[in-house]
């Protein structure tokens, strides 16, 4: 019989930095807050967040046999730093290397195969970001970290530069019950540093005001004029860069997260000159494809205008 301990050891062997296992219960409290967040319109134009709400709350809605949730965190920190250069746009750290969806999915799929070799009755579903689950809520429940006031999960060992994924399993396993205490205390550095006041209250982000949302998810042909991009072309790391829990980060051992050429600060001229063909080659296997060519060029135009106006 396969034990929770065996699965956790194997998850670490696959390269994950943290793992916890919890029961596949509905996320009642987190679900209520998700509904409040949606009712306030904080999801902006991410209609898919609203459509899948019941699936996000209850794991059985996406995998009826779910009994346990194996939750993993994978460190993506590399030591490079952004430069302030008006001819380039800053790219958020999570998108510097190979697309994390592929990397995390590959590791979780390999974990599932390993489990099935030992327990042929095992069935599972791999989730990372794009499946309708609440990754952060599961990470907190599984004791991987706490939800920081910037609303990202902070692990005490690796800070918040971690991706989160889950493996839903039909197996009854021993579950972790200890959570990590909230260590934000009286700190408000992330809230104070956010240039668009997107953290409307501790732990709550209004996507409409968030640079990450407008540069990646918003499909409008022009960016809202009231949002100051602060030099960001794709995503935004400000609230995590200022967090004291990210000061002692260790470099990831996942080599696929090493920054690709020109991806920490991207040349705006190069982005503006891309054609659909050169774009497909330049960003193959990169998380930056989420903004699509039109979105990237819209963002680059917005940054170029600021540069010319000043
Ligand atoms: C939608 C989404 C976004 C939206 C909304 C962000 C958000 N705050 O949720 C936008 C586009 C803005 C976004 C941006 C980013 N994202 Co995003 N995103 C998601 C996605 C798809 C869903 C998250 C979700 O359900 N949000 C809905 C709200 C309701 O959830 P919430 O913020 O967790 O809400 C909780 C709190 O408000 C809390 N709460 C409310 N009041 C109170 C009071 C107290 C006292 C407490 C303790 C809690 C509390 O309760 C709610 C429910 O638990 C997840 C992947 C997934 N499938 O889960 C990735 C995910 C959250 N994103 C991720 C990343 C990396 C980012 C960026 C850092 C990327 C970047 N560099 O640009 C930024 C960070 C911006 C920020 N400060 O949050 C990672 C985060 C990893 C981590 N360590 O936490 C995730 C988990 C993807 C992954 N699988 O790794 N994202
Ligand atoms: S990602 Fe940037 S814009 Fe969004 S909440 Fe954090 S600091 Fe604010
Ligand atoms: S900057 Fe301070 S308040 Fe914000 S998440 Fe980090 S420790 Fe918490």
Identify the residue whose C-alpha is closest to ligand 2 atom 6: 239
Mean pLDDT of the chain: 96
Q: State the pLDDT at residue 192.
A: 98
- Let me know if 129 is a catalytic residue: yes
Q: What is the pLDDT of residues 292-310, one digit of tens each?
A: 999 999 999 999 986 555 4
Q: What is the pLDDT of residues 137-189, one digit of tens each?
A: 999 999 999 999 999 999 999 999 999 999 999 999 999 999 999 999 999 99
Question: Among the residues of 195-241, which ranges form H helices?
Answer: 211-212, 238-241
Cα 170-175-178 angle, rounded to 5 deg: 150
Q: How far is the CA of 153 from the centre of ligand 3 (A)?
A: 10
Which residue among 92, 193, 198 has the greatest number of ligand 2 atoms within 8 angstroms of its CB, and so is best to mutate?
A: 198
Residue located via tokens 């302030």: 84
The verdict on the CB of residue 150 being under 6 Å from ligand 2 is: yes
Catalytic residue among 52, 102, 129, 182: 129
Q: How far is the CA of 124 from the centre of ligand 3 (A)?
A: 35
- Residues 172 and 208: their CA atoms lie apart, in Å, by 40
Q: What is the pLDDT of residues 236-257, one digit of tens each?
A: 999 999 999 999 899 999 999 9
């Amino acid at each position: 019989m396969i034990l929770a301990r065996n699965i956790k050891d194997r998850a670490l062997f696959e390269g994950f930095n943290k793992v916890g296992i919890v029961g596949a219960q509905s996320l009642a409290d987190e679900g209520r807050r998700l509904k409040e967040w949606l009712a306030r319109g904080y999801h902006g134009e991410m209609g898919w967040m609203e459509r899948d709400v019941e699936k996000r709350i209850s794991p059985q809605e996406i995998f009826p046999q779910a009994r346990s949730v194996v939750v993993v965190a994978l460190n993506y920190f590399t030591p490079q730093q952004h430069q302030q250069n008006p001819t380039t746009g800053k790219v958020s750290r999570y998108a510097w290397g190979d697309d994390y969806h592929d990397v995390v999915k590959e590791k979780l799929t390999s974990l599932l195969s390993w489990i099935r070799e030992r327990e042929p009755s095992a069935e599972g579903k791999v989730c990372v970001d794009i499946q309708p689950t609440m990754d952060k809520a599961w990470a907190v429940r599984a004791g991987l970290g706490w939800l920081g006031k910037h609303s990202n999960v902070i692990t005490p060992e690796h800070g918040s530069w971690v991706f989160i994924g889950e493996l839903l399993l039909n197996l009854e396993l021993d579950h972790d019950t200890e959570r990590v205490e909230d260590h934000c205390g009286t700190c408000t550095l992330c809230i104070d540093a956010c240039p668009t006041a997107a953290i409307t209250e501790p732990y709550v982000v209004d996507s409409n005001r968030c640079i990450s949302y407008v540069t990646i998810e918003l499909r409008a042909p022009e960016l809202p004029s009231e949002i100051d991009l602060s030099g960001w072309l794709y995503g935004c790391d400000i609230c995590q860069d200022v967090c004291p829990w990210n000061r002692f980060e260790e470099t990831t051992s996942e080599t696929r997260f090493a920054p690709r050429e020109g991806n920490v600060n991207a040349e705006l001229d190069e982005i503006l000159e891309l054609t659909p063909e050169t774009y497909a080659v330049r960003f193959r296997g990169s998380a930056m494809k989420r903004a699509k060519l039109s979105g990237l060029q819209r963002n680059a135009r917005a940054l170029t205008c600021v540069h010319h106006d000043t």
